[in-house]
Amino acid sequence: MFKLLAALLLIGALNALNAQYNPNSIYSRFGLGLIDNSGNVTHFGMGGITAPVSDPVALNMANPASYSFLEVTNLQTTIKGAYTQASNSTSSTNYLNGQVHELSMGFKKPNTKWGLAFGISPYSSVDYRFTSKDTLSDTLTANYNYVGRGGINKATLGFSRVFRIGHNESADSIIKRVHQLSIGVNGNYLFGNISRENIVVFNQLEHYSTIENQNLWVKGITWDMGLQYKVNLSTKRDIQNRIVGGSVLQIGATYSVGSNISAEYGELLYSLRFNSNIAYRDTTRFLDAERGTLSLPQKIQAGFAYKVYHKKWGTFIFCGEYKTQDWNKFKLDMSENARLYAGLTNASAVAAGMEYKPNADVRNTIFNRMYYRIGYRNSQSELTINGIRISHIAYTAGLTIPIIRSQSRLHLGIESGTRGTTEAGLVEEKQIGFMIGFSLTPSLFDRWFRQIKYD
């Protein structure tokens, strides 16, 4: 059953990663589109925080250092979607979109210091379709049509190792902190295609319509490095010397190395006019799959997670994170001048989140075994249009439901956010997003990778 499930998930992911079902965002028109927020559903519910977070039975592909803190082999899949209302100063429209967000697997042999993971997820997405109309004179009008689709996918293979220093609480009750430092590396293979089409059509046949087609193909390897540091700050014990509470601080950071990957860019710009049954075409510019390199900027991300737990009232985790990426460094180098959007700036984001689990005792009710999350995220994108910086503000919530008789879990997440504004002729997108995911692990009733021996 495990092999069948894994095969079905892989087929579904490969098909869906390249197919978004409805318009995504008008702001995906620029650069490489909307850059994906890495992380699974648990991170989504806490404002998208990933750098300092680790989980013994759920995989965090955004920070490779977290692999060492896994306790069991883990298969993870996530579906993401959204309902969006896009509006300007005069009109509005609604649409839905969805895709497979991640398929990944992590390996951790018990009592070892190494962790390994691989997976596939989107790096960026482009999906928009919109029109506008302009009156040029009393008799002449122009209709502008803009269509974009595609995106870049990311296949990842990574590993990590943890280093431990210190001992648990000694017999004389003097606390000796346990320091754990994990270092990890991800190798990512980026691949995909982005196509854009811009059309200008006039209401009078004697005027030429203008059509512009742009296509970008990319492939190449990028690298991510991560670290996580964990230390127990306090430990509480009962009269039988059993641990009943305490606190833990965890700090995490990731660094995505600025990379040059292979790219091909094609462009066709031509005019078209119809006269009776004859079509006249005039090609203004033609660039046939010119090869070059695409420069991706470095990204820095850092955060903290403070955990307080007690046997009676449960566990609280408070998290914060900051990340930045300078898209001024984004460039397509080739012999011809590729007309990509060049007005990108530095992107940054801050996030805060909290997780609460009522009680760690598995003998309690299902509600006491669930994980509850809330979060907030404020992202300043790389886009500045008409003098206005495009931002995305979102409030998030999440829930994890344990699956009976196993360590597997069902994760649910939702966010309410706003991107852009209606000022200066721009578009405001109000969005209700959701994520659904599974973390599947082996159990006593469903063992994986069993070696069968015969006498």
Q: Is 449 part of a structural domain of the chain? A: no
Cα–Cα distance, 426 to 31 (Å, whole number):
17
State the pLDDT at residue 182.
96
Give the global pTM.
0.86
State the pLDDT at residue 452.
56
Q: Is 447 part of a structural domain of the chain? A: no
Pairing of strands 141-165, 209-237: unpaired
Q: Is 451 part of a structural domain of the chain? A: no
Q: Is 62 part of a structural domain of the chain? A: yes
**Are 159 and 64 a contacting pair, CB within 8 Å?**
yes
**Are 291 and 262 a contacting pair, CB within 8 Å?**
yes
Domain range spanning residue 208?
A: 2-440
- What are 66-81's pLDDT values in tens digits? 999 998 888 999 999 8
Cβ contacts of 399 within 8 Å, gap of 6 or more:
45, 370, 371, 372, 373, 411, 412, 413
Cα–Cα distance, 255 to 325 (Å, whole number):
10
State the pLDDT at residue 453.
57
State the pLDDT at residue 234.
87
Nearest to 402 by CA among 368, 435, 373: 368
State the pLDDT at residue 448.
57
What single letter denotes the amino acid at residue 112?
T
State the pLDDT at residue 173.
44
The total of other beta-carbon atoms located within 10 Å of residue 288's CB is: 10
* 279: CATH: 2.40.160
State the pLDDT at residue 379.
94
Burial of 60 (0-12, 13-18, 19+ CB in 10 A): buried
Nearest to 221 by CA among 265, 258, 184: 258
Neighbour-count burial for 258-272, b at 16+ CB within 10 Å, e otherwise: bbebebbbbbbbbee
The total of other beta-carbon atoms located within 10 Å of residue 189's CB is: 15
Tokens for 161, please give them. Answer: 């190792």
Give the Cα-Cα-Cα angle 39, 43, 45 (nearest 5 degrees).
Answer: 135
Cα–Cα distance, 290 to 337 (Å, whole number):
10
Burial of 18 (0-12, 13-18, 19+ CB in 10 A): middle
* Average pLDDT value over all residues in the chain: 84
Cα–Cα distance, 28 to 129 (Å, whole number):
10
**H helices present in 33-159, as ranges:** 41-44
- What are 277-295's pLDDT values in tens digits? 666 667 777 778 888 899 9
Nearest to 350 by CA among 326, 324, 391, 378: 378
- What are 315-353's pLDDT values in tens digits? 999 999 999 999 988 888 876 666 666 678 899 999 999
Pairing of strands 141-165, 74-87: unpaired
- DSSP states of 323-359: EEEEGGG-EEEESS---------EEEEEEEEEEEES-
Q: Is 450 part of a structural domain of the chain? A: no
Give the Cα-Cα-Cα angle 112, 222, 191 (nearest 5 degrees).
Answer: 115
Q: Where residue 140 falls among pLDDT bands split at 50, 70, 90? A: confident
- What are 425-448's pLDDT values in tens digits? 889 999 999 999 999 887 645 555
- DSSP states of 184-199: EEEEEEEEEEEEEEEE
Backbone φ, ψ for residue 448 (5° rounding):
-110, 155
| Residues 229-258, mean pLDDT to the nearest whole number | 89
pLDDT > 50? residue 137: yes
What single letter denotes the amino acid at residue 306?
Y
Burial of 173 (0-12, 13-18, 19+ CB in 10 A): exposed
Percentage above 70 pLDDT, the chain: 85
The structural domain count of the chain equals 1
Q: Is 278 part of a structural domain of the chain? A: yes
**Are 62 and 78 a contacting pair, CB within 8 Å?**
no
Q: Is 164 part of a structural domain of the chain? A: yes
What single letter denotes the amino acid at residue 106?
G
Cβ contacts of 33 within 8 Å, gap of 6 or more:
24, 124, 125, 126, 127, 148, 150, 151, 152, 194
| Residues 226-234, mean pLDDT to the nearest whole number | 93
